[in-house]
């Protein structure tokens, strides 16, 4: 539980000037899910290879030299070449970190597979709430998290 205490301490010492004026209020709407994630990438070919061939996401659409759309049945990731963004987002460079959900059985398989492909994988790391994750960088150094929610300790010991 040392991690939990450490997080609690950090949360309580968060600088007040960075907190929103509406802290503590709840919105009058609900976010249902993530619709899409857009990443600005330096090399579409390398990024397409990473997300399709290494992580196993499905290739949905490609505009050569500009955009590659990959994802799952419910989530889309757009890989955009620099200068292709629209809707006032041309200045954006990426989210730095995002998480992809995997099954309990696949987390350790993914770690072994990715390390076998030469990727440096950090973890597994447990988080408050019984979540477990591994982390690696994509070709543009965005931090990719593969995550399972609510693992139990007995399963974790058996899988290592």
- The total of structural domains in the chain comes to 2
Same domain, yes or no, for 76 and 103?
A: no
Of 26, 55, 86, the domain-final residue: 86
What would the mean pLDDT of 128-134 be, rounded to a whole number?
Answer: 82
The answer on 125 and 157 residing in a single domain is yes
- What value does the mean pLDDT of the chain take? 77
Q: Are residues 45 and 81 in the same domain?
A: yes
In a domain, 150, yes or no: yes
Quote the pLDDT of residue 64.
94
Whether pLDDT at 160 is above 60: no
Q: Does residue 62 have a pLDDT over 60?
A: yes
Residue 37 predicted with pLDDT over 60: yes
Residue 27 inside a domain? The answer is no
Q: Are residues 78 and 131 in the same domain?
A: no
37-46, 50-59, 88-97, 149-158: the lowest-pLDDT one: 149-158
Mean pLDDT of 3-13: 39
Tokens coding 152: 């139990």
Q: Residue 17 above 60 pLDDT?
A: no
Domain that holds residue 110: 95-160
pLDDT exceeds 70 at position 154: no
Instruction: Supply 146's token pair.
Output: 């593969």
Judgement on whether residues 110 and 63 belong to the same structural domain of the protein: no
Indicate whether 151 belongs to any domain.
yes
CATH code of residue 58:
3.10.180.10
Domain shared by 150 and 99, yes or no = yes
Sign of the four-CA dihedral 112, 113, 115, 121: negative
Is residue 16 scored above 70 in pLDDT? no
Backbone φ and ψ for 124, nearest 5 degrees, come out as -75, 145
57 with 117, same domain: the answer is no
- Domain-located, residue 123: yes
The CB density around residue 105, as the number of other CB atoms within 10 Å, is 11
Is residue 18 scored above 90 in pLDDT?
no
Residue 24 lies in a domain: no
Q: Is position 144 within any domain?
A: yes
Q: What is the pLDDT of residue 103?
A: 83
Residues 69 and 105 in one domain: no
- Distance (Å, rounded) from C-alpha 72 to C-alpha 63? 19
User: Does some domain include residue 122?
Assistant: yes
């Amino acid at each position: 539980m040392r991690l939990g205490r450490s997080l609690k301490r950090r949360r309580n010492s968060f600088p007040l000037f960075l907190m929103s004026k509406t802290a503590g209020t709840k919105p009058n709407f609900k976010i249902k899910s993530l619709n899409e994630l857009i990443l600005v990438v330096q090399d579409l070919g390398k990024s397409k290879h990473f997300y399709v061939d290494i992580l196993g996401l499905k290739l949905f659409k490609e505009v050569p030299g500009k955009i590659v759309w990959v994802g799952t049945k419910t989530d889309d990731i757009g890989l955009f070449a620099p200068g292709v963004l629209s809707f006032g987002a041309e200045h954006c460079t990426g989210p730095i970190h995002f998480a992809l959900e995997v099954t309990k059985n696949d987390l350790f398989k993914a770690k072994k597979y990715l390390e076998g492909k030469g990727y440096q994988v950090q973890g597994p790391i447990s988080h408050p709430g019984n979540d477990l994750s591994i982390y690696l960088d994509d070709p543009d150094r965005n931090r990719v998290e593969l995550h399972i929610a609510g693992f139990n300790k007995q399963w974790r010991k058996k899988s290592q």
